Structures are given as C-alpha cells and as structure tokens.
Amino acid sequence: MDDVQNVVVMGKSGAGKQPRVDFLIRRFNLKQLSTGDIFRHYLGLFKEFAYAGDLAAFYDSAANDFIPDAAIMEQLGIIGRPGADDIVLGLKATYYVNQGLFVPDRITNALFESAFRAMDFRGAVIDGFPRTREQAEFLLNLMQREGVKLDAVLLVENEDELIINRTLGRRICKSCGELFHMEFRPPPHERQNECLKKCDIVQRSDDNLESLKKRLSEFRTKTRPAIDYLREQGTPFFPVPGNLPNYSKEAVEASVCEVMGLAPSGAASI
Ligand code: ADP
C-alpha cells in the first residue's frame, strides 16, 4: 500500500486509539479527522455560553427529539445572534456526549462529511467514525461517490476493565491536546505540584464512570455491527492490541507494523 489515501481507526472509548493514530499520521503523512474533536469544538462553543440550567428541558422525550431549534434559541435568548446555530448544535452535542451517548447519525454524518470534504476526501486518519452500521454505510457510499478509497481499518482492541482504569486517570492538556495519565504518565507540571488550572491540564467532561460505562455499552450494541458491516464489505481489516506488556512509542509502532504487514521502519509501503 504505497499510495495510502484514507485509514480508519476504530475501538472502544479509551482503548488506546490516539498513539496508533499518531503513528499512521507520521508513517503515511496523513491528517487526523476525529469526530470526538469535532464534537468537543461544539461543546466548547456551548460552554462559552455558560448555560447553567438542565439540558433535559430542551429534550422532548415523547417525540424522542429536541424541541425545535427556534424554541431552543428563544429560551437561550440568542435569536438572531451570530453563531446561534452553532450554539444550538453545541447544546445538542453536550447533551449526548456528557451522558456517554453517541450523537445521532443524522448530526454526526453531516458534520463528518463537511470536515472530510474540507480535506478533499483524501489523506485522513479517520478516528472515532464510523461508530454505527448506518455511519459505516454512509462512509463507504460517500467514498465511492467521491472516487476515493479506504485503504485499511485498524481496530484497537482492549478489555473493558483495563479501559475503565485508564480512562478515569486520563488527563488532557487544553492548549496542546497532549494526553497524560495520573498514574502511568503524570503531567510533569503535576509532579511539581503546580496548579492544574495554570497548566491547562483538565479531565474531559465525559471521563467519569457513569458516562464511560454507557460508552462501552454503546460500543457493544452499536459499533460491533459497524465492524461486522465493514468486514462483510471486504474492507482490509487489522485488529491490533491496545494494551502492550511494555508500552512505548516504538512498541506501538512495531505492533501496528506487524498486523498491517508494514516494514518496521523506512519507506511507507505495505
Ligand atoms: P473516546 O476518546 O472516548 O473514544 P471520542 O473522543 O472519539 O471518544 O468521542 C467523544 C464522544 O463524542 C463520544 O462518546 C460520543 O458521545 C461522541 N462521538 C464521537 N464520535 C462519534 C460518532 N462517530 N458517532 C456518534 N457519537 C460520536
């Protein structure tokens, strides 16, 4: 595989996708396209708005949908304000993400397509998408329509118990996105007992036990069928271990190279 156009990285929440994504980016000169990052962007827009009420008030359980956008805007007092549509989208994303629920396919597919289009549908390590069978069908159809290929799907495998421990200790640097773990990889500033806020090291709003358990259950019920579908369609598929006995950047690289049949270093060809 010399001319790699697009790769998908799948796996449970907290399985260890990011280090594998980083390797694929370096190896094939690709760019990350992460639906989680897209949603966090919208979460940020809504957070800036500093709404303190209960988001359930915007959800109509009988209709199983949000109340109309205009009604949301009215309640928030943002009718006619620039960026009001994005604040509403941010509210909806916050509602799902913080509960550990997948954002509905309709919203996710549209945001994904627009971000992928901005890359001319090429050169992406697609991370966190597809997560449902509908999204998987959408992705393959979109790629076929645009005449681009999906070269490989990397499935990062990991046990729920390990994931729970790893995820609850996970911290992220707000400024550069670097990932840390309070036990296995503490941020250097924290070792010196410096202020968490000053160092911009935060915990993701959805990294709590309740939300994580929900995400793991969403994976079992919704993402497994997406994996089955991609395999049935004959997409080149590579399961890779998310937990390594001796974890290092080199070990991650070696394990990905091994499953994908890549030379451990040197020219980008598989
Ligand atoms: P993690 O790091 O836990 O794997 P991500 O950062 O990929 O999670 O995504 C964070 C949250 O954003 C998910 O728990 C879910 O609420 C939402 N999300 C991300 N990608 C998708 C998707 N493809 N479909 C639906 N919801 C998604």
**Whether residues 129 and 187 fall in one domain:** no
The answer to whether residue 265 scores a pLDDT higher than 80 is no
**Whether residues 105 and 69 fall in one domain:** yes
pLDDT score of 175: 74
pLDDT tens digits along 65-110: 999 999 999 999 999 999 999 999 999 999 999 999 999 999 999 9
Is 263 a domain residue?
no
The answer to whether residue 267 scores a pLDDT higher than 70 is no
Is 153 a domain residue?
yes
Atom of ligand 1 nearest to the CA of 18: 2
The terminus-to-terminus CA distance of the chain in angstroms comes to 5
**Whether residues 112 and 196 fall in one domain:** no
pLDDT score of 184: 77
Q: Ligand 1 centroid to 264 CA: how many Å?
A: 30
Q: Ligand 1 centroid to 35 CA: how many Å?
A: 6
pLDDT score of 189: 61
**Whether residues 64 and 141 fall in one domain:** yes
Query: Is the pTM higher than 0.85?
Result: yes
**Whether residues 174 and 45 fall in one domain:** no
Q: What's the one-letter identity of residue 197? A: K
Atom of ligand 1 nearest to the CA of 131: 23
Task: Give the CA distances from residue 91 to residues 13, 78, 211, in Å, rounded to whole numbers and listed in that order.
Answer: 22, 13, 17
> To the nearest whole percent, how much of the chain has pLDDT over 90?
74
The answer to whether residue 195 scores a pLDDT higher than 80 is no
Total structural domains within the chain: 2
Q: What single DSSP character describes residue 185?
A: B
- Going by C-alpha positions, the residue among 47, 197, 224, 37 that lies closest to residue 128 is 37
pLDDT interval class at 44 (50, 70, 90) = very high
> To the nearest whole percent, how much of the chain has pLDDT over 70?
93
Q: What is the CATH number of the domain that holds 67?
A: 3.40.50.300
**Whether residues 14 and 148 fall in one domain:** yes
Can you tell me the distance from the alpha carbon of 236 to that of 234, in angstroms, rounded to the nearest whole number? 6
Q: Structural domain of residue 190, as residue ranges? A: 170-206
Pocket-forming residues, ligand 1, beta carbon under 6 Å: 13-14, 35-36, 39, 96-97, 100-103, 108, 128-129, 131, 135, 206, 215
Q: What is the mean pLDDT of residues 28-56?
A: 93
**Whether residues 241 and 195 fall in one domain:** no
β-strand partners of 239: 155
Can you tell me the distance from the alpha carbon of 37 to that of 112, in angstroms, rounded to the nearest whole number? 11
- Best residue among 55, 103, 135, 181 to mutate for probing ligand 1's pocket (most ligand atoms within 8 Å of CB) is 103
User: H/E element holding 177?
Assistant: none
The answer to whether residue 196 scores a pLDDT higher than 70 is no
The answer to whether residue 217 scores a pLDDT higher than 50 is yes
Is 261 a domain residue?
no
**Whether residues 89 and 194 fall in one domain:** no
**Whether residues 106 and 183 fall in one domain:** no
**Whether residues 198 and 228 fall in one domain:** no
**Whether residues 38 and 152 fall in one domain:** yes
Return the exposure string of 224-254: e unless at least 16 CB atoms fall within 10 Å of the residue's CB, then b: eebbebbeeeebbbbebbbeeeeeeeeebbe
Is 164 a domain residue?
no
